[in-house]
Structure 1
C-alpha cells in the first residue's frame, strides 16, 4: 500500500474541498493517505511518503500563499528529487500562471511530476470534484 501525503492551504474552502475529494479518490484506490493542512505538516516528513500531493490556490499576482504555504514548500523542495508529486489548486481570476510556474519549479526540483497540475476556477462543482477524485485514484495507482 502506497503512503501518500496531501498537503494544502485554503483560504476560502475551495482548495480544501479539492483536497478532500483527492483524498477520497486516493483512499478508494487503496492508498494509505494522510491529509494535512499546511501548518500541521513538516518538510522533514517528505521522505516518509511514497508520493506527495500539494494544493494551494493562486494568490495576489498568481503566486503561492506566502505566509505558510510558500515557506513549507520551499523547505520541502530539498526532499523532492525523484519523489512522485502532484499539484492542485483553485483560482479566482487570471489564467493559471501560478500553476504553470509551480509546475516548472517542481520539475526543476527533480520531482517526478504526475501531471501539469489540476486547477479549478472558484468553487469546485460536481464535475471538478470528480476530476479531483480521479487525480487521487490515478496518482495512487501510478505509485
Structure 2
C-alpha cells in the first residue's frame, strides 16, 4: 500500500481544508495518509513516505509563511530520490504573485531529487466545488505517478 505525507501551513483554515480534502481522497484511493501542520513537522519525515505533499498559503506579496521558512530551507537539504511530490495551496488573485509559495515549494522539492507527480494546484482563497474536483484529480495523479514509478 502506498503512503503519503501531507504537510500544511494554514492561517485562515483554507489550506487546512485543502489538506483535509487531499487526505480524504487519498484514503478513498487506499493510500495510508499522515497529515501534520508545518511548524510541528520535520522535513526529514518525508523520507518515510512514498508521496510527499505540501499545502501552503502565500503571505503578502509572494512571501512564504513565517512558520514555513525553516521547513522550506530544511527541505532543500533532503534527498527524496525515488519519492513523488505534489504542491497545492491557496492565494488571493488580488496579488500579482498569486499563490507563489506553491511554486517556491515545488522548486525546493525538485532540489531533493523527488519527481513531481502532478501539476501544482492553486486555489483562490477557500476551495469551492471546482477546486475540490481539481484536488481529487491531483491526488489520483500523484498516486498514478507513484505506481508508474514503482
What TM-score, normalized to structure 1? 0.88
Q: What SS does structure 2 have at the residue aligned with 1:128?
A: helix
Partner of 1:2: 2
Q: Which runs of 5+ in 1 are unaligned?
A: none
Instruction: Say whether the 8 Å CA contact 2:46–2:52 is kept in structure 1.
Output: yes
* Cα distance change, pair 117–135 in 1 and its aligned pair in 2 (3 A): same
Map Cα deviations across residues 9-59 of structure 1 (whole Å, 9 max, x no partner). 100011111111111111111111111111222223221111110011111
SS in 2 for 1:56: strand
Cα contact 1:4–1:32 (8 A) shared by 2: yes
Residue 76 of structure 1 is matched in structure 2 by 75
Task: Note if contact 2:118-2:141 (Cα within 8 Å) is conserved in structure 1.
Answer: no
Q: Any residues of structure 2 matched to 1:1-143 within 5 Å, and which?
A: 1-66=1-66, 68-82=67-81, 83-92=83-92, 93-94=94-95, 95-143=98-146
1:138 deviates by: 2.4
- State the Cα deviation string for residues 74-105 of structure 1 (Å, max 9, x = none): 21222244221100100023234443343333
In structure 2, the gaps of 5 or more residues are: none
CA contact (8 A) 1:10 1:57 kept: yes
Structure number with the bigger relative contact order (C-alpha 8 A, sep ≥ 6) is 1
User: Structure 2-normalised TM-score?
Assistant: 0.84
Residues 9 and 101 (structure 1 numbering): CA distance in 2 closer, same or farther, change over 3 Å?
A: closer
The number of aligned residues is 142
